[in-house]
Amino acid sequence: MLILKPSTNAGGVGIFTTRAIRSGEPLHLFADEDWRFVTEEDLKDGERFLVRRFGIPEKNGWHIPADWNHMSIGWYLNHADLPNVHHKDYVYYASRHIRRGEELYLDYESLV
C-alpha cells in the first residue's frame, strides 16, 4: 500500500501510495512499540543529528524511533500546510481521497 521514494516536494525521502486511499481510511504507519521518549541526558553518542531530523519535540524531550536501524514507514511523513493525512490520538487517517502514486503529508503542528 505504501512505499518510500525520493520526495517530490519536501526533499529527502517521502511516503507514496501504491493504490488509491479513501477519505477517512486508517493508515498503518507505525508498528507497536516503535518509539521511545528521550531527554537531552538520555541521548547516546551520535543521536543528536537523528533526533533533530526525526524526533517529535515535546516539552522535556523528544519521541524518537525505538531502533534507528528498524524504523516504521511513518517516520518518513513529510510536512505540508495543507496535508492529506491527519491523526487522532496518533492514529493516522487519510484526510481526503488520496490518488495512487501521491505522496503523504502531515501538518507537523498537529503533533505538538
CATH class of 1-30+72-112: mainly beta
Flag whether the pTM goes above 0.95.
no
Domain ranges of the chain: 1-30+72-112, 35-70
Q: State how far the Cα of 101 lies from the Cα of 42, in Å rounded to an integer.
A: 39
pLDDT at 11 over 90: no
* 70 phi and psi angles, rounded to 5 deg: -150, 75
**Tens of pLDDT along 56-80?**
888 899 999 999 999 999 999 999 9
Cβ(93)–Cβ(24) under 8 Å?
Answer: yes
Residue 94: predicted pLDDT = 98
Would you say 51 and 38 are in contact if contact means Cβ atoms under 8 Å apart? yes
How far does the chain reach from its first CA to its final CA, in angstroms? 28
The C-alpha cell at 53 is 531530523
Q: DSSP character for 98?
A: B
